[in-house]
Amino acid sequence: MTRVWKWNRPVTVREVLEDLQQERSIAYTTVMTVLDNLHQKGWVRREAEGRAYRYEAVSTRAAYSAALMNEAWTQSDNPAAALVAFFGMMSAEQREALRDAVRMVQGPEETPAPQKPEPQNPAPQNPTAENPAAENSKAGNSTVENPAVENAVGENPAAAGGETGR
């Protein structure tokens, strides 16, 4: 499969044989058998060309690798733990490639999520009387324990500590 993926075009047994023979001695029938087996398994399709066939990969190497990873992940009894272990095995370059891939899948930065809809119950007449967090924020106090409440009044607790939250 490596040779078929490398050329990214339909190849003959003879082409693969000649390429492999640069590295080691191998028989024509061995290459023909392997390509036939790959065809039987559905990894390559073939088209007759005279008395021979041209073989072409059904999917890309990246798609094949993704399918292998997905299969391994879904067979785990604890997929989250499997992913954490997998990520722990990655090099710095692989982790950066993963970050790039996640950015590509997510697309451009999305706008912030819309605020939660107002509760169905009517609001109290004096919201600060029943909401000490709102009173503290109006008074300039930053003793709010719930970051969501503090975010609602326009402050970012992560930014206050010098972190960006990313």
Whether the predicted pLDDT of 122 surpasses 80: no
Q: Are 57 and 70 in contact (CB under 8 A)?
A: no
Count CB atoms within 10 A of the CB of residue 32: 18
Q: How many residues does the chain have?
A: 166
DSSP state for residue 51 in the 8-state scheme: T
What is the rounded CA–CA span in Å between residue 92 and residue 62? 20
Q: Write the pLDDT tens digit of every residue in 131-164.
A: 444 444 444 444 444 333 333 333 333 434 444 4
Q: Is the pTM above the cut of 0.85?
A: no
Lowest mean pLDDT among 81-85, 102-106, 124-128: 124-128
For residue 46, what are the β-bridge partners?
A: 55
Position of tokens 């023909």?
Answer: 32
